[in-house]
């Protein structure tokens, strides 16, 4: 991070600082730096020194103190980042994730002191994405305090990019009416014998006895009717609510490709580059957006049918899937039950039973063992001859519909146009 530059007018700076400072414990002893796991002792002096900078002297930190705080942030994040990458994610110690979150907190506060609230929001998002909650989820509270101070709508980005071939007049357009440079391929036909059954608001018992227990897919209709997202969500709405927030985006046609990668960018950038302008494929996929941006969580509900599971409601993983037409999730299986709720746009989905797993040629590597090697819509039948033996069901999932994907059921998903889905993984 660069050293503290000139802040905005002193009045605005002090008022914002006071508001931000009020999010922290009043006294230094209140900021306990407690960690839920073991970390190496070498980072503790840095945490303590950074904390000391915040509490004395009172008032917004001057340029030197802000620079020192930024430096502590860099060092803490740099060191803990290596710990976050040293083992598979599920094994990462919570203590190290909290150190990372503290690093982001100190860095964000330094950016606020330097008059750069957008950079502060970005650091908060990094802490929310990679860190673990500290100080009563202070990073989320900090973002909420900063967001009103940021420009609305098409926020200026941190990194100016050369203007690409953006389509004219896209501001405020509804997604379905967006002009597309070329016609997309027509949606695949769904033959009657392979169609997934559709049901309107089945009772809990009926769903449990006919679909959950026998592990059979079904499309539920009418369940989402009163979810606020059906009326509120549009590309412009996301720009307003979440435009300045940093999210992970998948780049590349599918995650089995060599060129596939993930990148962090703001929602504004994602919309500008990959939704409005379709030079290459970007997909905001498998991201717990609703933990990061609680405002959006109020627009959705958890399907009642999830109560038929044994797990707690808090254990349900809710993911956002937001992207242009043409995003593909290769055929794969997940270890939990899934409700895939379609809010915007349509998706072509194909399902294969786990009993057909052998005919689907899963990858042998450990990382991709839950993914098939076969490209569902263009299978190489020379390499994968038994693929034709596998029976499947399919549907075109429309807005307002929820697809029940039983546990371990193989599924392939392709968006037919701009699409926003919400998935609920439950047990």
d(CA 358, CA 374): 12
* Cβ at position 157, least distance to another protein in Å: 9
Question: Which of 22/86 has CB closer to another protein?
Answer: 86
Cβ proximity to another protein, 34 vs 42, nearer residue:
42
Measured from the CB of residue 158, what is the shortest distance to another protein in angstroms?
A: 6
88 vs 214, beta carbon nearer another protein: 88
Residues at the contact surface with another protein, assessed by CB under 8 A: 1-2, 40-42, 45-46, 48-50, 68, 71-72, 74-75, 79, 82, 85-88, 158-161, 259, 261, 263, 365-367
**Beta strand 218-221 pairing with 198-200:** parallel
Backbone angles phi and psi of 40, in degrees to 5: -70, 140
Distance CA 115, CA 9 (A): 9
Q: Which two tokens stand for residue 289?
A: 């957006």
Task: Using alpha carbons, select from 189, 224, 211 the residue that is nearest to residue 350.
Answer: 189
Q: How far is the CB of 143 from another protein (least distance, A)?
A: 20
Q: 203 or 261, CB closer to another protein?
A: 261
- 88: number of Cβ within 10 Å: 8
* Closer by beta carbon to another protein, 32 or else 263: 263
Per-residue tokens: 69 = 């705080």
Nearest distance, CB of residue 5 and another protein, angstroms? 8
Contact status, residue 337 vs residue 216, Cβ threshold 8 Å: no
Neighbours of 191 (CB within 10 A): 8
Tell the smallest beta-carbon distance from residue 70 to another protein (Å).
Answer: 10
Min separation Cβ 81 and another protein, Å: 9
In whole angstroms, the minimum distance from the beta carbon of 219 to another protein comes to 36
Contact between 69 and 50 under an 8 Å Cβ cutoff? The reply is yes
Q: Whole-angstrom Cα distance, residue 276 to residue 270?
A: 9
- Kindly tell me the sign of the dihedral angle through the C-alpha atoms of 8, 11, 13, 19: negative
Nearer to another protein, 114 or 218 (CB): 114
Measured between alpha carbons, how far is 210 from 215 in angstroms, rounded to an integer? Answer: 8
Tokens of 197: 């059954």
Residue 191 or 366: which CB sits closer to another protein?
A: 366
């Amino acid at each position: 991070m660069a050293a503290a530059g000139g802040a905005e007018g002193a009045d605005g700076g002090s008022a914002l600082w006071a508001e931000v400072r009020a999010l922290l414990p009043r006294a230094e002893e209140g900021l306990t730096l407690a960690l839920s796991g073991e970390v190496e002792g070498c980072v503790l002096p840095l945490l303590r020194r950074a904390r000391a900078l915040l509490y004395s002297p009172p008032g917004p930190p001057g340029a030197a103190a802000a620079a020192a705080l930024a430096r502590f942030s860099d060092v803490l994040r740099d060191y803990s980042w290596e710990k976050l990458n040293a083992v598979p994610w599920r094994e990462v110690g919570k203590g190290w994730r909290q150190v990372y979150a503290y690093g982001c907190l100190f860095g964000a506060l330094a950016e606020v002191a330097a008059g750069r609230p957008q950079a502060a929001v970005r650091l908060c998002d990094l802490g929310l994405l990679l860190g673990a909650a500290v100080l009563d989820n202070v990073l989320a509270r900090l973002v909420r305090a900063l967001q009103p101070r940021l420009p609305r709508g098409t926020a200026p980005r941190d990194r100016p990019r050369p203007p690409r071939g953006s389509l004219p007049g896209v501001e405020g357009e509804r997604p379905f009416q967006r002009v597309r440079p070329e016609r997309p391929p027509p949606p695949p036909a769904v033959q009657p014998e392979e169609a997934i059954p559709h049901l309107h608001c089945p009772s809990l018992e009926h769903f449990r006895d006919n679909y959950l227990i026998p592990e059979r897919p079904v499309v539920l209709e009418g369940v989402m009717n009163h979810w606020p997202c059906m009326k509120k969500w549009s590309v412009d709405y996301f720009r307003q609510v979440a435009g300045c927030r940093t999210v992970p985006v998948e780049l590349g046609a599918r995650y089995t490709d060599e060129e596939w990668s993930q990148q962090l960018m703001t929602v504004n950038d994602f919309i500008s580059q990959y939704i409005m302008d379709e030079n290459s494929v970007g997909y905001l996929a498998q991201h717990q957006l609703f933990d990061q941006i609680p405002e959006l969580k109020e627009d959705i509900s958890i399907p009642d049918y999830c109560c038929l599971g044994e797990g707690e409601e808090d254990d349900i993983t809710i993911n956002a899937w937001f992207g242009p037409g043409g995003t593909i999730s290769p055929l794969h299986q997940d270890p939990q039950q899934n409700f895939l709720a379609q809010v915007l746009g349509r998706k072509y989905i194909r399902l294969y039973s786990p009993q057909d797993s052998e005919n689907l040629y899963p990858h042998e590597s450990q990382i991709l063992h839950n993914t098939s090697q076969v490209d569902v819509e263009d299978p190489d039948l020379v390499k994968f001859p038994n693929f034709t033996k596998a029976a499947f069901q399919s549907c075109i999932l429309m807005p307002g519909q929820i697809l029940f994907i039983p546990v371990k059921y193989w599924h392939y998903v392709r968006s037919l146009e701009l699409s926003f889905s919400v998935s609920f993984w439950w047990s």
